[in-house]
Amino acid sequence: MKAVERLVILASHGRFASGILHSLELICGKKQSVLAIDCYVDEAFDLTTTVDTLMETYKEHEVIVITDIFGGSVNNEFLRYIQQPNFYLIAGLNLPLLIELTTQLQGGGAISETIHQALANSKDMIQFCNDSVAKEIEEEEF
């Protein structure tokens, strides 16, 4: 039995998706299974058509979509597919999450578990550095 291919789609308002993909590739190398959708960068852009075409094209894949803002138009358009098998939607696109997820996906394993683990690990990377450094200095002084 052939394994189902996995695809990560980054989707954002403006050029954020392609920009963060560029950063991912700079740090981790080119990823064949990650693509970016920059929404609303030209007047002729049609979000519904773009999403429907993507979902039809990759219907045989396990598809993980990461959007920029929960409840935003891009996220809401992908929400229409939330009941489809092999479709996973994450909101809150950021580089630590993207690195965690794409790295962990290479190991195989259950996709829902992989997503939950990547979310947990990436949350630790979001910090108020002033407080973090101050805490380290306090600990070193004692």
Instruction: Tell me the mean pLDDT in the region 40-56.
Output: 97
Q: Where are the domains of the chain?
A: 6-141
CA distance 26 to 29: 6
Homologous superfamily, domain 6-141: Phosphotransferase system, mannose-type IIA component (3.40.50.510)
Task: Please determine, for residue 59, whether its predicted confidence score (pLDDT) is greater than 60.
Answer: yes
Q: What confidence category does residue 109 fall into, taking pLDDT thresholds of 50, 70 and 90?
A: confident
Cβ partners under 8 Å of residue 38, min gap 6: 12, 14, 15, 16, 17, 18
Give the global pTM: 0.90
Tens of pLDDT, residues 124-138: 899 899 998 888 787
Tens of pLDDT, residues 61-106: 999 999 999 999 999 999 999 999 999 999 999 999 999 999 998 8
